[in-house]
Amino acid sequence: MKNIFLISILVLSGLTGAKAQDTLPGTAANLKTWCYFLASDDMKGRKNGSPEMKTAADYIAAVFQEAGLKPYSAETGYFQEYTTPRNNTELAERNVIGILEGSDSLLKYEWIILSAHFDHIGIRQPVNGDSIYNGADDNASGTATVMALAKTLGAMHVKPKRSILFAAFSGEEMGMRGSRWFVAHPSVPLDKVKLDLNFEMEGESATLGKNKYLLTGDIFTDFDDLLDSYNKNSTWQCADVYKTPPGVFQASDNAAFAVKHEAEKTTLNIPAFTLVTTDDMQVIHKVTDEAQNMDYENMAALVAYTAGLVNFLAADPLAIHWDQEAFDKFYLKQ
Ligand SMILES: [Zn+2]
């Protein structure tokens, strides 16, 4: 019944005129295809510096192109290339970045970043005969979510008012090297970045239940007020913004947008959050984190919800209050 209703909305809106809150046809199937590809044994656990990471980057870039995103640069296309030290050598990696220009003549100069890391930890000690750490939930799921958001928002008849930068970061498992490189070499002015919404572990729905997520970092802002006003009309709910301890805030790429460099303790004051659909951290970095364990229907519903939320936020004043005192107390002075 629900599907028939959605399909009729899409038909009435002429498919190309999809609204942000609609599920684009085939989203769950796309998410499944992308996660099975990124987390396949052939990708050997997407270790930084490996040829498989280049294959993964090409794959993500192709979807960004299909979604109609503009490339990061005229010279390097969707890739932001960088090197980072590893074992006395320089390891070459790349972030994958695409842009959806805002539809408002003024707000298009401001940015919302939707990010996820696509690297994982490669091949390690075998457990029960399996040595490939596929990294399906961590973080093929977040990467696929960002890819699906690119397709969904890219298909909207009227694009979001602010510009959206879609970023698939490498180097996260080495200590957020990709996102820290982006922040140190930004392609957009950082003082115009209003928000980073980062995606990690979106494939598991058993722990919190369907249509629920946790948000890290809200303890430093009043973003929950804005979320509450949007979620009043949504089937999706933020299960708890405070349940996640502040320490988890620094466990993903969102942290790079809040603090310029861990050692420097320089605050950038960009409200940056990681959205997760689980609080079961037992699956992280296990050989059993595989594509067949994920709930693609729930992920597709999350994409539809998040697309609507981002479209809403892209038109909002987004005067998110940053509580420096709370940040100092829980993060900088840990
Ligand atoms: Zn991760």
CA of 200 to the centre of ligand 1 (A): 6
Tell me, yes or no, whether 178 lies in a domain. yes
Q: Assess if residue 112 is contained within a domain.
A: yes
CA 165 to ligand 1 center in whole angstroms? 20
pLDDT one-digit tens code per residue, 134-149: 999 999 999 999 999 9
The tokens for 268 are 């950038």
Q: Range of 33's domain?
A: 23-332
Domain assignment present for 10:
no
- Report the separation in Å between the CA atom of 136 and the middle of ligand 1, taken as the mean of its atom positions: 10
Measured in Å, residue 140 CA sits from the centre of ligand 1 at 9
Return the structure tokens found at 44: 């050997």
Q: Is 237 helix (H, G, I), strand (E, B) or coil?
A: strand
> What is the pLDDT confidence band of residue 186, given thresholds at 50, 70 and 90?
very high
Ranges 12-26, 174-188, 205-219: which has the least confidence = 12-26
Structural tokens at position 206: 């058993």
Residue 264 has pLDDT above 60, yes or no: no
Per the structure, the count of domains in the chain is: 1
pLDDT for res 322: 84
What is the pLDDT, as a whole number, of residue 189?
Answer: 95
Query: Does residue 4 form part of some domain?
Result: no
Q: How many whole angstroms from 283 Cα to the centroid of ligand 1?
A: 11
Rounded to the nearest angstrom, the distance between the alpha carbon of 324 and the centre of ligand 1 is 26
Tell me the HSE value of 9 on the side-chain side, using a 13 A CA sphere.
14
Q: Are 94 and 57 in contact (CB under 8 A)?
A: yes
Residue 274 counted as domain residue: yes
Cα 49 to averaged position of ligand 1 atoms, centre (Å):
17
Q: Are 253 and 175 in contact (CB under 8 A)?
A: no
The answer to the question of residue 285 being in a domain is yes
In a domain, 15, yes or no: no
CATH number, position 260: 3.40.630.10
Q: How far is CA 319 from the centre of its chain?
A: 22
Instruction: Please classify residue 14 by burial: count the beta carbons closer than 10 Å to its beta carbon, then call 0-12 exposed, 13-18 middle and 19+ buried.
Output: exposed
183 within some domain? yes
Compute, in angstroms, the gap from residue 173 CA to the centroid of ligand 1: 7
**HSE-up (13 A, CA, CB side) for residue 249:** 27
Tens of pLDDT, residue by residue over 24-61, are: 889 999 999 999 999 999 999 999 999 999 999 999 99
Between 49-58, 206-215, 289-298, the lowest mean confidence (pLDDT) is in 206-215
Encode pLDDT of 77-92 as tens digits: 999 999 999 999 999 9
Whether 212 shows a pLDDT value over 90: the answer reads yes
What residues have their beta carbon closer than 5 A to ion ligand 1?
A: 138-139, 200
Ligand 1 centre distance from Cα of residue 116 (Å): 8
Percent of the chain residues past pLDDT 90, beyond the cut: 75
Q: What is the pLDDT of residue 327?
A: 81
Q: What pLDDT band is residue 245 in, cutting at 50, 70 and 90? A: low
Say what the pLDDT of residue 251 is: 85
